[in-house]
Amino acid sequence: MTSARKSFLIRSAVILGAIALVPASTSAVTESESETYKQLDLFMDVFQRVRASYVEKVDDASLIKGAIEGMLSSLDPHSSYLDARDFTNLRTQTEGNYGGLGLTVTLDEGVVKVIAPTDDTPAAKAGIKAGDYITHIDGKLIYGSSLDEAVDKMRGAPGTSIKLTIARQGRDEPLELTLTRAIIDIKPVKWQVKGDVGVIKIVSFSADTGNDVRSAIRSIEKSLGHKPIGYVLDLRSNPGGLLDEAVTVSDAFLDKGEIVSQRGRSASDNRPYYARPGDDAQGLPVVVLIDAGSASASEIVAGALQDQHRALVMGERSFGKGSVQTLLPLSQDTALRLTTARYYTPSGRSVQEGGIEPDILVPQISDPDYAKRPRYRESDLRRHLINEAKLDRSELEADTNTDPAFAATPEELEKAGIDDFQLHYALKTLDRLGPAIQTAAAKKQTASRK
C-alpha cells in the first residue's frame, strides 16, 4: 500500500468514526472496520484508474466532488453537496432576489422536471405547470445535463429572452415557450380582499414570512374597516422553505397546542414545536388551499391547522415531502444539505409520500389541462424515503368527488368570470359558513362571561 493511499484511508477512517486507527494487519481491527478499509481501497483503485486512463484529463477536485455528489444522491432526492456556487445560489433563493424565470425544479431520470412555478414570475405567466418536463433550452437538448447546468442556463440578465421546450403529459405535441428573464424579487406573502374574505397567498417560506402573514391579517382588517368573515390561506404551488417560518405562520392562526414535531436518528434530534398564546386571526374561520405543488413547509402548516381543527383544507392532495434537511457547514463556502429527520403533524402522522389529504377535494377545473395532466409527488422521485406507515399507493390517487359544481367546463367558468375555481369554491364556502361560525363563536364567548 502506498503512503498516499494509507494516509487517505486513515483520514477516511477518522471521518467515518473509527475508534481505533491501527494497521489492517493487527487483530485489533474489527470485521466492520476491515470491510470499510477494503471499500475505501476499492475507491482509491477506481480513482487512480480514472485519473490515469480516462479519455480526457480530469482534475482531482472534479473527481472527488463527483464522488461526494454520487454518495449523497444515493441516499434520497433532497440530500446534496453545496460547493461555493451552490451555497451562493441557496442564499440567493432564501433571500428571494435573483435574475431568472421563477421555477423550482428537480432532476428526474436525467430530465429537468418542474416542481412548481413561483406566482407572478415569467414562468407562471407563461403557463408552466407543476409536473412539466423541460427538454430543450434555446433549442438544445438538455437531457443528461446536471441540474446545476440547467439552472445556470435558465438564469441570466433581466430582459434577456430564453426559449423552453416543454413536454406535458396529456398533450401530444411539446410546448414551445419564449420567456423574458426578470428580477425574481420574491415577496413571500401577498394579500387581497374578496368581498368580506381576506385572501393570503404564501409564495414561499423565506425569511420573515411569518411576520408578513401577521402583517397581512392586520392590513386586511384595516382595508375592510371591520373584521372579515374569514380567511383563505393559499398554499398552492408553494414548494416550502424554512421550517421556523412554517411554525411561525401556523402560530399566527393557533392559540395553543403542538404545530409539528421532528424525529431523527437519535433522541437528541427529536423536537416538538408549540404554538404560543394568541391567535392573530382571532378564531375567525380559515380555509387552506393546497395542491400537488404544495410541499414541505406548506404541508407543515396545512397539517397543523387541519389536525388542530382550526381550518378546513381544500384542493388536491399535497406533494408529500415529510423530511427535514439540515445545512451542515464544511467550510466558509461549502456545506452538506443532509436529511436529518422526518416531521410529523400534531396527530402523529407523517406526510412523507402520502401528503396532506384535503378535507374537501376541489379540482382546479378552470385549468383546461386538469383532467389530462398527471400529478407528480414525492413518491414519484427516485430513492425517496418510505413512509413508515407503508402507504398503499393505489389509494393515494383514488380521490373522487361527485359535487355537481365540478362538472362545469373551463369555457363555462370563463364566461362566468371564474378563472380560479378552487379559490372561488373556498370563497363561496366561507360566504355560506363564515357568518354562522362567527355567530356561534360570539354566543360561546357571551356564555363564557356569564
Cβ contact 344:350 at 8 Å: yes
Q: Which of 79, 80, 206, 296 is catalytic?
A: 296
Q: What are phi and psi of 358, to 5 degrees?
A: -65, 150
* Distances from the Cα of 309 to the Cα of 158, 259, 302, 306, 359, angstroms: 44, 12, 11, 5, 11
Strands (E), 276-332: 286-290, 312-315, 323-329
Cβ contact 160:152 at 8 Å: no
At 427, list the grid cell: 370563497
User: CA 149 to CA 156: how far, in whole Å?
Assistant: 13
Strand 360-361 and strand 312-315: pairing? parallel
Q: Which of 113, 129, 201, 321 is catalytic?
A: 321
Cβ contact 9:36 at 8 Å: no
Give the sign of the dihedral formed by CA 345, CA 347, CA 348, CA 350: negative
* Distances from the Cα of 261 to the Cα of 20, 66, 253, 275, 387, angstroms: 37, 34, 18, 12, 16
* Distances from the Cα of 141 to the Cα of 151, 164, 166, 267, angstroms: 14, 10, 11, 47
User: Which amino acid is it at 433?
Assistant: L
Beta bridge partners of 361: 315
Q: Which of 83, 212, 251, 307 is catalytic?
A: 307
At 52, list the grid cell: 490515469
296 is catalytic: yes
444 is catalytic: no
Beta bridge partners of 98: 184
Q: What are phi and psi of 446, to 5 degrees?
A: -65, -45
User: CA 53 to CA 50: how far, in whole Å?
Assistant: 5
User: CA 345 to CA 300: how far, in whole Å?
Assistant: 7
Give the sign of the dihedral formed by CA 421, CA 424, CA 430, CA 433: negative
Contacts of residue 128, Cβ cutoff 8 Å, sequence gap at least 6: 103, 114, 117, 164, 166, 177
Which of the residues are catalytic? 296, 307, 321
